[in-house]
Structure 1
Amino acid sequence: METSDSQVQSFGQTEINWDKLDKTKFYVVGAGLFTGITVALYPVSVVKTRLQVASKDTTERNVFTVIRGILKADGIPGLYRGFGTVITGLIPARVIYLTTLETTKVTAFKMVEPFKFSEATQAAIANGIAGITGSLVAQSVVVPVDLVSQKLMVQGYSGHAKYSGGVDVARKVIKSDGIRGLYRGFGLSIMTYGPSNAVWWASYGSSQRVIWRLVGNDADFEKAPPSLGALVLVQATGGVIAGAAASCITTPLDTIKTRLQVMGHHKRPSTVHVVKTLIAEDGWQGLYRGLGPRFFSMSAWGTSMILAYEYLSMDFFLLYLHLL
């Protein structure tokens, strides 16, 4: 059974429609918007990473003491260690991810439509498939960037080595382990970001539909468009719900991955060893180190991305003009 244009439009009530997207605006303006979001939220990633790699002897083991320690030692620039590497590497990674995400989402919806699931269920499945596919494709760029930036984030902290910059990190890793050294933790990255993106997009896609029904606005959006304030509020709420679900489910894997990636070249602990160490130091809650910053980052990043993302949709932009 073919999916009609109206069905696809219903699926994308407040989501981007890839076929009608202004690609120039998406890739050019979008790069600037997403870079701005990264600037604003990057310090949260630095704090999260430091919390995840802290040893049992480290005194800075909560958000406030970590921030205070960074500011005391390096000032504001300390909150942006590794930022240059992230911006350089993640702009192409984000383009790859979002392109794959949107093209896959439309295809996935057409695949599940014949099963006659509820709209919320169809949205959850299609968004989930798109999220995990986009993440898998982007990991070839993301993993080396993550590894280099995280080593810069924790340099000199809790006994970690110091570097002169991203190139120095890459050079030393390649000298020690070859190119494969830049992909340390690749398997765990797939296991972390794949499910994380699937859960985030599935939760976001289904939750906003549930919210629209709860507020009594699940009708045809083209005939009865919601107010701009209501649209932003529903999307923001959906982003928070999605961030909570994704962070709670995948933080343990993210903590293990981060520890594996930032360990010195000669330590190379196994995944089992990392898990045992975390449990020995803090019990099972040790696997959830950095949960607070990660939840905040995923919720804030996701919500900001969605709002910027929707601006890039021609349908959404025209809706703004109509409402003004």
Structure 2
Amino acid sequence: MNANGSRFQSFGQTEINWDKLDKAKFYGVGAGLFTGITVALYPVSVVKTRMQVAVKDSAERNALSVIKGLLKNDGVPGLYRGFGTVITGAIPARIIFLTALETTKVGAYKLVEPFKFSEPTQAALANGLAGMTASLFSQAVFVPIDVISQKLMVQGYSGNTRYTGGLDVARKLIKSNGIRGLYKGFGLSVMTYSPSSAVWWASYGASQRVIWRFLGQNSASEKFSPSHSQLISVQAAGGIIAGATASCITTPLDTIKTRLQVMGDKGKTARQIVESLIAEDGWKGFYRGLGPRFFSMSAWGTSMILAYEYLKRLCAKDEQT
């Protein structure tokens, strides 16, 4: 046993730490895996975004009507508006996120270990801190991509401007507002995604331990060695729980952020957007797009975590005897 202590070592039974990964393989294979997941789930983001910016008299007020409208006007490509911009920025943002996540998680476990919390609590705190830190670091890349892609998602919808592509959006934003135009809603993005990431990873880390205990297993035991199918099942369940928890908590901020990024160039402030949401739909207006966001975060979270845990197993260095 090393100086990190038995509790810290025990997490290695179900998790592969950063120092055990082949970094070059991790980044290369990871880029391909997450690109595939983004392709599969991107249409959900488009539907969610259009629902959040719909005006009161819009005909497309639910997910099904938005999908029908997109397919009628643009066919399947309509479900992938802004995809090129997202996939271009997603790779560097993902690299930053995963690097910060894994390196912070190791330090966070060491930080909380002396407090002798229960295993689920320790996992929640360490994973939550790592998720929040990773999100903060990746926002510098993610926010401009988010602003541009969302404008492409809703172009021509509810009176929104049409563009020829991502570069056209960037050029017009910089021309009208300077570089800060690409960071419209940056504060709200940090307030939305950092807590969301913290809640997601905290829920995921803690729920796994709770599920193992429910199944009569002790993941803190050095003898604990789950089968491949058990590991995948518990990780998938943890991803669903984490996505559901995070989506319910952070949807109101996400709705405000999205409308500010898309409609801010019309002179609307965050306060005016809040007032208009309440005037149009009451407090439930803050939960516009909750269904797609709930599905997106649960589906994305489950797919992502299974791919991510598989990626770490695939890229683990051979143990030296």
What is the TM-score normalised by the length of structure 2?
0.95
User: Which residue number corresponds to residue 128 of structure 2?
Assistant: 128
Letter in 2 for 1:300: A
How far off its partner does 1:104 sit? 0.2
Matches within 5 A, 1:141-220: 141-219=141-219
User: Which residue number corresponds to residue 230 of structure 2?
Assistant: 230
Letter in 1 for 2:302: T
Distance, in Å, in 2 between the alignment partners of 1:287 and 1:241 is 22
How far off its partner does 1:263 sit? 1.3
Distance, in Å, in 2 between the alignment partners of 1:176 and 1:158 is 21
Distance, in Å, in 2 between the alignment partners of 1:135 and 1:318 is 27
User: Which residue number corresponds to residue 97 of structure 1?
Assistant: 97
User: Which residue number corresponds to residue 276 of structure 1?
Assistant: 275
User: Which residue number corresponds to residue 291 of structure 2?
Assistant: 292
Measured at CA, do residues 171 and 72 of structure 1 come closer, stay the same or move farther in structure 2, by a change above 3 Å? same
Verify the 8 A CA contact 1:260 1:268 in the aligned structure 2.
no
How far off its partner does 1:295 sit? 1.2
How far off its partner does 1:220 sit? 5.7
How far off its partner does 1:218 sit? 1.5
How far off its partner does 1:297 sit? 1.0
Verify the 8 A CA contact 2:56 2:280 in the aligned structure 1.
yes
Verify the 8 A CA contact 1:125 1:202 in the aligned structure 2.
yes
User: Which residue number corresponds to residue 60 of structure 1?
Assistant: 60
Distance, in Å, in 2 between the alignment partners of 1:264 and 1:193 is 19
Letter in 1 for 2:48: K
Distance, in Å, in 2 between the alignment partners of 1:139 and 1:205 is 23
* SS of residue matched to 2:27: helix
Letter in 1 for 2:212: W
Measured at CA, do residues 189 and 3 of structure 1 come closer, stay the same or move farther in structure 2, by a change above 3 Å? farther
Listed as ranges, the gaps of 5+ residues in structure 1 are 320-324
Verify the 8 A CA contact 1:203 1:238 in the aligned structure 2.
yes
Measured at CA, do residues 210 and 62 of structure 1 come closer, stay the same or move farther in structure 2, by a change above 3 Å? same
What is the TM-score normalised by the length of structure 1?
0.94
How far off its partner does 1:314 sit? 4.0
Letter in 2 for 1:287: F
Number of equivalences = 317
- Could you give the per-residue CA deviations for residues 127-160 of structure 1, whole angstroms, max 9, x where no partner exists? 0100000000000000000000000000011110
Matches within 5 A, 1:79-90: 79-90=79-90
- Could you give the per-residue CA deviations for residues 8-53 of structure 1, whole angstroms, max 9, x where no partner exists? 3323442331110121221000000000000000000000000000
User: Which residue number corresponds to residue 28 of structure 2?
Assistant: 28
* SS of residue matched to 1:59: coil
Distance, in Å, in 2 between the alignment partners of 1:30 and 1:100 is 15
User: Which residue number corresponds to residue 255 of structure 1?
Assistant: 255
Distance, in Å, in 1 between the alignment partners of 2:221 and 2:88 is 39
Distance, in Å, in 2 between the alignment partners of 1:277 and 1:16 is 47
Indicate the larger mover: 310-319 or 93-102.
310-319
Measured at CA, do residues 275 and 298 of structure 1 come closer, stay the same or move farther in structure 2, by a change above 3 Å? same
